Homo-oligomer: A and B are copies of this chain.
Amino acid sequence: MYRTHNCGEIRKSDIGKQVVLSGWVQKLRDKGFMIWVDLRDRYGISQLIFDEQRTSKDLLNQAKSLGREFVIQVSGEVIERASKNQNIATGDVEILVKDLEILNSSTTPPFTIENNTDGGEELRMKYRYLDIRREPIKNNLILRHQITQQVRKYLSNNSFIEVETPCLIKSTPEGARDFIVPSRINEGEFYALPQSPQTFKQLLMVAGLDKYFQIVKCFRDEDLRADRQPEFTQIDCEMAFVEQDDILKTFEGLIVDIFKKIKNIDIDPFPKMTYDQAIEKYGTDKPDIRFGMEFVDLNDVSQHKDFNVFNSAELVIGISVTGGNSMTRKEIDKYIEWLKTPQIGAMGMVYIRCNDDGVYKSSVDKFYDQSDLKNIADKTNSIKGDIIMILSGDKDVVRAQLSALRLEIAKNLGLRNSEEYAPLWVVDFPLLSWNEDENKFHAMHHPFTSPKPDQIGLLKKDPGSVKANAYDLVINGNEIGGGSIRIHDKNIQQEMFNCLGFTKDEAEEQFGFLMNAFKYGAPPHGGIAFGLDRLVAILGGSETIRDFIAFPKNNSGRDVMIDSPSKISKEQLKELKLKQNL
């Protein structure tokens, strides 16, 4: 038996007991005649003590030979500490060691196993098994476990059934790129890894399972960006005989439950905003509403003078920064410079200071008098002490730029508090989005999303204007989940495929099984999928999902710890009837 207790559970009430502990040497303080060792395991730290008077010479020498991260087993007596440590749960006691066994030695780790480590990202990833020994990463993984357990509990209690859908499925070129898996037994054929279990969960609704969920790995072979993983985890859900509100209600309940059970935070009912409103007011379909600074359309109060920049712009919009007049000129210039970087791409920014004496001071005083500026200030609800920041240009572009500026300012003003949570439903997404490059419509959500029932007639006449029964859950500016009511009528599904430019053969080839299933009594249904990695990160107060994944891949899709992907043998390729064509 390696232990009677773990390193986190010994208390004052255990004093006098003989205990056996196993764990890692976190720290060793050697005073010559006395040695303290902090012994660590997942559950905590226990202090071990060896001293000349009470410990045999051999044992003392053995203790002196210990190094950081050695794995040891000790037995001894729980005694009261002379100087207590209020910072740890076991701080009242220590173990007077009688026996010590070194279970495994350790060479010096490449970075310190401390909360604040000296290891850089690359090193931490290469030695991820050491990184996980650190409290913050360990706690992230425990948090992830707690959240998935709670999700499963909530959904099970609400009659959802977790069903595993297959991982080796069929490649469907629609959407992102599939990872493919050559089949050896079926020569010349390939499986694909699922980008999501979308069609399977719909088939489970056709199958009558009524309420489905699955916490499931999904795969996308995308060109990787920072903090995007080729494999990621979804909480995937689907319900039959529901309308949009049934779904929003059910999954609002799920999120409220998680925040309550995991963080003991009560979250108010989620506000709803249409996609169009979100774009107009925040310039994004995932607004962070922890703070204000809503966009104000200033065309009518800014395009009547000689300022050509505004006059020629499709849209002039501004935000009012409460108390922002305290910004120095230097700070403002920094924002302007930042706006001009290629990643944002603005031409410049106009600002209006609302001085305490009631005078407005702007960067365009040449064109606008006090009364013009007052009109703008009034329209943006600005008062003394505020600053108004204004961008202009093409609608879509300028909104995106102002959205970025809004977030940047909020970050700098400390308005993006990671301990505050502002969830929001964004609803009424467009069904389709026009792809300039391919000169055709793409599905905004996916090809199975139902148009608003009263707009089905528009599908032929003006597809671009059709709104969908689609919704996203946004928390603090992050898209946490998204879903839709699905099409359950095979004729409407066919029409949707037409809109997307599928020929009948292509639709049949790729989704024939689903269209076929719809012939046999498909119920109305809809669902949602949450990005687990992101959800856990947000509950963990971070936006770096890699820190909440046990073994993440880097920005090139590599696992630097196991060094994968890697070359495979010629024999393997030969068996798969493949040749490399580099």
* Chain A residues packing against B (C-beta within 8 Å): 1-3, 6, 22, 24, 40-43, 69-71, 73, 103-107, 109, 127-133, 138, 141-142, 144-145, 148-149, 152, 156, 161-171, 173, 177-193, 199-200, 203-204, 206-211, 217, 219, 221, 223-224, 230-231, 233, 241-243, 246, 488-489, 512-513, 517-524, 549-551, 553, 556-559, 561-569, 572, 574-582
Contact = CB atoms under 8 A, between A and B. Distances in A.
15 contacts: A41-B210, A106-B519, A127-B520, A132-B204, A133-B208, A141-B209, A148-B162, A167-B167, A168-B231, A169-B559, A179-B181, A183-B565, A190-B566, A577-B580, A578-B580
Contact of A231 (B166, B523, B565): B166
Contacts of A2: 241-243, 524
A556 B187 CA distance: 11
Contacts of A73: 241
A169 B562 contact: yes
B551 A190 contact: no
Given A207-B130, A558-B186, A577 B566 contact: no
Contacts of A170: 559, 562-566
Contacts of A520: 69, 106-107, 109, 127, 129-130
Given A106-B521, A107-B520, A241-B2, A209 B579 contact: no
- State the 3 A-B residue pairs at the shortest beta-carbon distance, nearest first: A132-B207, A106-B521, A170-B564
Given A171-B568, A564-B191, A105 B521 contact: yes
Contact of A206 (B129, B206, B210, B521): B129
B42 A208 contact: yes
Nearest to A107: B519
A208 B141 contact: no
Contacts of A183: 557, 565
A47 B70 CA distance: 70
A414 B560 CA distance: 56
A207 B133 contact: yes
Contacts of A231: 166-168
A253 B558 CA distance: 39
Given A173-B572, A179-B181, A572-B180, A129 B188 contact: no
Contacts of A558: 186
A533 B502 CA distance: 38
State the number of copies, please: 2
A537 to B, nearest CB: 14
A129 B164 contact: no
A38 to B, nearest CB: 14
A193 B181 contact: yes
B513 A166 contact: no
A396 B577 CA distance: 38
A171 B566 contact: yes
B551 A200 contact: yes
A213 B177 CA distance: 31
Contact of A578 (B71, B185, B223, B579): B579
A476 B79 CA distance: 51
Nearest to A188: B582
A357 B1 CA distance: 58
B572 A577 contact: no
A26 to B, nearest CB: 11
Contact of A581 (B210, B563, B579): B579
Nearest to A230: B168
A513 B561 contact: yes
Contacts of A204: 129, 132, 550
